[in-house]
Amino acid sequence: MALATATARGPRRRRGPRAGTAAFERSRRRLYLPFVVPALLLHLAFVIGPTLAALWISFHEWDGVSGMQWRGLDNYSALFDDPTFRTALVNTFIILVVAGAAIFIVSFGLTMLVREMRGRSFIRSVLFFPHIVSAIVLSIVWGFIFQHNGVVNTFLNKVFGAEPIGWLNADNLFRMILIGTVWISTGLYVTIIMAAVDRIPRYFYEDALLAGANSFQRLRYVTLPLSWDVISVAAIFWTISSLKIFEFIYAFGGTTNDLPPPSVWNSALFVYGESFGGRSPSYLFGYASASAILMLALFTVLIVALRRVLRRDSIEF
């Protein structure tokens, strides 16, 4: 009787692997949504929302108190006639290219040097230390070292009898900002690159040594190809970070009651200066927002192009 009933109902369908996979995906979706949604809401509230608000403000003339007056694209067209903005734009790209190249060259050199030394974990921590200290504090220390009667000039005078050098005068200030930026940032990228190099099996370097490869050849044919994915991410991270450099320039180049001279401004300092009284008239929130949106658009295009240029097939080992 039972056999007849089972036969009448037909054979039971077994849940195949596809059904199990679908159920697992649904359960996983239910698991990560509670974690993703709060982060997404915070991102919308504190990143996407202010960006859209800045885009809307950039089409207006606004002092932050009275009503907005529509200007359309006049704020954007005025930027290219503003010599201070052009200087800030050039300085931003100089920081990106010159300081960035120096950071990566020094980082690779230190990585190749430190990875063969004892106590490399301690050395890595020492190199990383400037990155975890406030940029304001570092700018004060940097200014104390290189001021007219600072540590460097005192040492040069006592040892070599040299006259004090104007490290922080108007002609040298931006160069010192570049050097200080390299000093602050190098430790982070040494840590990133060294972490990528540490996961490369040592037998690759041993084979290269047996083949007679020198240090530069090992860097070119072993280190770079096998850590290229991390290096490309680090390059994009530096591109984004270079746009946001503000505290070091503000505290190092400025005085107690004033901003640094416009000749050392970058785009971030230009936005601040136009918003909060760096020049007259002050509180030009629409004009400052236009410069911020323009730099955001330029760097977005740059990052997309950089990702395409740095794209390589991943190497598994």
Q: What is the pLDDT of residues 174-188, one digit of tens each?
A: 999 999 999 999 989
164 cis-preceded (ω within 30 degrees of 0): no
200: left (phi over 0), alpha (psi -120 to 50) or beta: beta
Query: Could you give the percent of the chain with pLDDT greater than 70?
Result: 89
Mean pLDDT of the chain: 84
Closest Cα to residue 88, out of 293, 262, 214? 262
What is the rounded CA–CA span in Å between residue 301 and residue 311?
16
What is the rounded CA–CA span in Å between residue 246 and residue 167?
20
pLDDT tens-digit profile of 101-149?
Answer: 999 999 988 888 887 777 777 888 888 888 888 888 888 888 888 888 8
Closest Cα to residue 184, out of 139, 260, 131? 131
Tokens of 236: 């994009």
What's the whole-number mean pLDDT along residues 83-90? Answer: 94
What's the whole-number mean pLDDT along residues 208-228? Answer: 86
DSSP 278-298: SSSS---HHHHHHHHHHHHHH
The verdict on pTM exceeding 0.85 is no
Closest Cα to residue 128, out of 182, 175, 58, 186? 186
Most confident of 114-123, 246-255, 303-312: 303-312
Amino acid at 305: A
